[in-house]
């Protein structure tokens, strides 16, 4: 698994443009929202962040598109990878069309994926690596 992870990360890092942003934010409102929803829907802070990212991605078409030759391809949904550390290495299951999920559905989906990963530890499982998802590369 570690070899596959290393190979995919190397391909991603060397063939896809990367950019980084560092910023300070006031997470107080987000944490207040999380605290108000946690007991109702069983969400985590990560669920709130993934949901917010999905909504932001869909608000800005450039964030869910890519250039293919002379054409700009816009993808219909926000597929977001959630990194999960395991003894065997880092696995990144993808939440497909995350923008369609309510917070309660997001919490259920992340728990479902975590349960699936726990069950799959001892057998082969195809993992979708989010950094290659927009190019429809599955491993």
Chain-centre distance for alpha carbon 8: 16
**Pick from 69, 80, 64, 73: nearest CA to 131:** 80
Specify the pLDDT at position 136.
46
**Separation of alpha carbons 137 and 58, rounded Å:** 21
Q: Buried (b) or exposed (e) across 10-34, using 16+ Cβ within 10 A?
A: eebeeeeeeeeeeeeeeeeeeeeeb
**Separation of alpha carbons 134 and 117, rounded Å:** 22
113-131: pLDDT as tens digits: 888 887 776 444 444 444 4
The answer to whether residues 74 and 50 touch, using CB atoms and an 8 Å cutoff, is: no
Provide the token pair at 116: 């699936």
Specify the pLDDT at position 84.
79
Please indicate, yes or no, whether the overall pTM of this predicted structure exceeds 0.85: no
**Separation of alpha carbons 15 and 1, rounded Å:** 21
Specify the pLDDT at position 130.
44
**Pick from 120, 128, 65: nearest CA to 96:** 128
Mean pLDDT by groups of 10 residues along the chain of 139 residues: 79 78 90 96 95 93 85 90 77 90 96 82 45 44
């Amino acid at each position: 698994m570690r070899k596959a992870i290393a190979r995919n990360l190397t391909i991603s890092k060397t063939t896809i443009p990367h950019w980084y942003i560092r910023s300070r934010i006031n997470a107080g409102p987000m944490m207040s929202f999380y605290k108000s929803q946690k007991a109702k829907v069983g969400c985590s802070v990560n669920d709130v962040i993934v949901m917010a990212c999905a909504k932001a991605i869909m608000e800005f078409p450039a964030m869910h598109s890519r250039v293919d030759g002379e054409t700009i391809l816009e993808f219909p949904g926000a597929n977001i990878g959630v990194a999960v550390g395991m003894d065997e290495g880092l696995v990144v299951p993808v939440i497909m069309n995350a923008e369609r999920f309510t917070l309660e559905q997001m919490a259920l989906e992340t728990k479902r994926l975590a349960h699936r990963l726990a069950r799959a530890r001892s057998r082969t499982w195809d993992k979708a690596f989010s950094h290659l998802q927009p190019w429809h590369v599955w491993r």
